[in-house]
Amino acid sequence: MACYECQQHGVWFDRPYDPIDFIEGYRNSPIWIIGLNPAGEAGSNDGRTIDQLINWLQDPANRHQYFGVFQSVSEQLFNELGHDNGVAHTDLVKCYSRRWNLNQEVVNNCAHYLVQQLAAHQPRVLVCNGADTSRLVQSQIQPVDWIHPFTSYRAVLGGQNIWVVLSGFLGQTDNWAKRRLGREITEIAQLAGVWQ
């Protein structure tokens, strides 16, 4: 399936599945990690099928080095990556790029895909990795109650509660900040009834 909304910016989506199907891990996962974009050459695409995406994170050999940082954040989060009813991953922008700071038009063009994914699969906890991702998610899924001022909140999407944890880019965060984030994720996952 294809999306060429951002071709003028050098990125486009042309894969064997729709942009809303770009989720690595089980769709029933109650916790989703939301990144900015998949790292790769701008304009590149992969030939994975939906079944391969679902099972992708189960094999540690398939995991991009990006996921290693989550082991420092929370062992439980890391260990549940790719498991049925565990932790899934998607990106705000579905197109590959090596740039960390994508054009805001590209980010805005992709926002509706993320909202559609969340409405369709109803995860209960979102872990937003990076300022751009955190800002966009907060603008699309607005807080009802702040759990921790400026870093985590409860919202309602499709009549269901969803808890959102905001963070800076974890690849540039020290281990103390990662561990503090891990404690907050654990607290929110317990509050959401996902973890005991």
pTM above 0.75, yes or no: yes
pLDDT, averaged across the chain: 92
Q: How far is the C-alpha of 158 from the C-alpha of 124, rounded, in Å?
A: 12
- What confidence tens digit (pLDDT) does each residue in 51-89 have? 999 999 998 888 888 899 999 999 999 999 999 999 999
Phi, psi (5° rounding) for residue 127? -110, 110
What residue ranges define each of the domains in the chain, with the CATH number in brackets? 2-191 (3.40.470.10)
Residue 43's pLDDT band (cuts 50, 70, 90): confident
The mean per-residue pLDDT over the stretch 112-131 comes to 95
Inform me whether the pLDDT recorded for 175 exceeds 70.
yes
Residue 142, pLDDT score:
95
Q: How confident is the model at residue 101 (pLDDT cuts 50, 70, 90)?
A: low
Q: How many CB atoms within 10 Å of residue 90? A: 25
Do the Cβ atoms of 150 and 175 come closer than 8 Å?
Answer: no
172 contacts: CB under 8 Å, gap ≥ 6: none
